[in-house]
């Protein structure tokens, strides 16, 4: 208790660097814990000593204005960027994520709005891309088709006409659903979605938000980036706010309302939140 970025009392704004995961009871260990993560690109410092906890069976919304560092943080967890400094703890063990392969091997799946799928392939092919099932040296189409259909049904994705339809013919929301279903099928433990609803209409957004909740019901840790605070408040259990590369607030959704999140996003402080009001004293 009393450590930064823990639920409850410790989830104040701008948690000071804590004593580290070793002092935490195993039961309260989040699936992924980042401590002091920094990343720069040339003269641009994109992340400054970022702490982040992503617990299983919870949705964490990562909020922040344009350029705050959300995508850089996501790509650092996905192994696309190598961080300059900082620690990654996975299920209580310190790990190093240096490549997308490292990230995938841990059970981390990242879903991007446009980049996740191969347009010219159908749904089944996309879901098994690079991990195709073989039988007697041939692709086992029947078994792959069955597994893909079962996963989509389990997630109650019902609007897709045929799982043999090329992904290029799907709507934005359906593509998103296939990308999420792929993550579920491969037993991921953490799914990160970078702006999954940005380009979607009302009904498709609804479908993706429902999917996010189902991932959580399956026990997965979910991190979702969204500029839409309505979406955030609908699905998130936790909120983390980045501003200019710094984590300025993190805690249970119950401690925030929309205005508080906006305050943190724009100024780094909020006097509306109990126990908060002290922002980052540092210089920008
Ligand atoms: N590959 C890169 N090379 C150089 N600078 C980068 C690179 N990627 C990101 N940056 C810089 O890092 C900072 C954070 O960018 P990032 O893409 O993480 O922002 P974001 O929070 O995802 O914003 P948005 O809401 O607009 O997507 C920005 O100043 C950006 O210009
Ligand atoms: Mg981004």
Spell out the long-range contacts of 24-29 with Cβ–Cβ below 8 A and sequence spacing 24 or more.
26/92, 29/89, 29/91, 29/92
Ligand nearest to the CA of 69: 1
28 and 97 inside one domain: yes
- Where residue 154 falls among pLDDT bands split at 50, 70, 90? confident
Helix then strand then coil, % of the chain, to nearest 5: 35, 25, 40
Mean pLDDT of the chain: 84
Distance CA 237, CA 58 (A): 6
pLDDT digits 0-9 by tens, 215-229: 899 899 999 998 899
pLDDT at 274: 55
pLDDT digits 0-9 by tens, 49-96: 999 999 999 999 999 999 999 999 999 999 999 999 999 999 999 999
pLDDT digits 0-9 by tens, 163-206: 899 988 887 778 878 888 887 777 789 999 988 877 777 877 88
- Where residue 12 falls among pLDDT bands split at 50, 70, 90? very low
90 and 55 inside one domain: yes
Q: Establish if 69 belongs to a structural domain.
A: yes
Measured between its terminal Cα atoms, the distance across the chain in Å is 31
194 and 249 inside one domain: yes
Instruction: Name which residue sits closest to atom 25 of ligand 1, judged by CA.
Output: 66
The preferred substitution site among 38, 62, 71 for testing ligand 1, maximizing ligand atoms within 8 Å of CB, is 71
The pLDDT of residue 133 is above 50? yes
Question: Could you tell me if 180 and 197 are in contact, meaning their C-beta atoms sit under 8 angstroms apart?
Answer: no
pLDDT at 116: 64
Instruction: Name which residue sits closest to atom 12 of ligand 1, judged by CA.
Output: 46
Quote the number of domains for the chain.
2
Give the domain extent around 129: 119-186
Ligand 1: residues whose CB is within 6 Å?
41, 44, 46, 64, 66-72
The pLDDT of residue 20 is above 80? no
Q: Establish if 282 belongs to a structural domain.
A: no
For every residue of 156-217, DSSP letters joined together read T----S-TTSBGGGS-HHHHHHHHHHHHHHTT-SEEEEESTTTT--HHHHHHHHHHHHHHHH
Q: Establish if 2 belongs to a structural domain.
A: no
Q: From the CA of 252, how far away is ligand 2's center (Å)?
A: 23
| CA 64 to ligand 1: nearest atom | 21
Final residue in a domain of this structure, among 134, 167, 186: 186
103 and 202 inside one domain: yes
The pLDDT of residue 24 is above 60? no
Kindly report the CATH number assigned to the domain that includes residue 103: 3.40.50.300
pLDDT digits 0-9 by tens, 230-274: 999 999 999 999 999 999 999 999 999 999 999 999 999 998 765
The pLDDT of residue 144 is above 50? yes
123 and 151 inside one domain: yes
């Amino acid at each position: 208790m009393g450590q930064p970025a823990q639920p409850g009392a410790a989830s104040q704004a701008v948690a000071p660097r804590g004593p580290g995961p070793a002092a935490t009871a195993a039961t309260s260990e989040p699936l992924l814990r980042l401590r002091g993560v920094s990343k720069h690109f040339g003269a641009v410092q994109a992340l400054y000593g970022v702490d982040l906890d992503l617990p299983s069976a919870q949705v964490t919304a990562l909020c922040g204005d344009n350029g705050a560092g959300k995508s850089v943080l996501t790509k650092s967890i996905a192994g696309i960027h190598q961080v300059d400094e900082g620690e990654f703890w996975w299920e209580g063990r310190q790990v190093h994520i240096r490549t997308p392969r490292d990230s995938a091997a841990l059970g981390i799946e990242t879903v991007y709005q446009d980049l996740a799928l191969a347009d010219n392939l159908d749904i089944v092919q996309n879901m098994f891309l690079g991990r195709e099932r073989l039988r007697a040296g041939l692709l086992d189409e029947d078994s792959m088709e069955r597994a893909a259909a079962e996963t989509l049904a389990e997630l109650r994705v019902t609007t897709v006409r045929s799982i043999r339809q090329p992904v290029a013919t799907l709507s934005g929301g359906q593509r998103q659903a296939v990308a999420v279903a792929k993550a579920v099928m491969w037993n991921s433990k953490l799914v990160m979605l970078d702006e999954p609803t940005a380009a979607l209409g009302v009904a498709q957004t609804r479908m993706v938000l429902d999917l996010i909740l189902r991932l959580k019901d399956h026990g997965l840790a979910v991190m979702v980036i969204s500029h839409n605070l309505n979406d955030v408040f609908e699905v998130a259990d936790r909120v983390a706010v980045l501003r200019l590369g710094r984590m300025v607030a993190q805690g249970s959704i119950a401690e925030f309302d929309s205005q508080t999140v906006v305050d943190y996003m724009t100024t780094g402080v909020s006097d509306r939140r109990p126990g908060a009001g002290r922002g980052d004293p540092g210089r920008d």
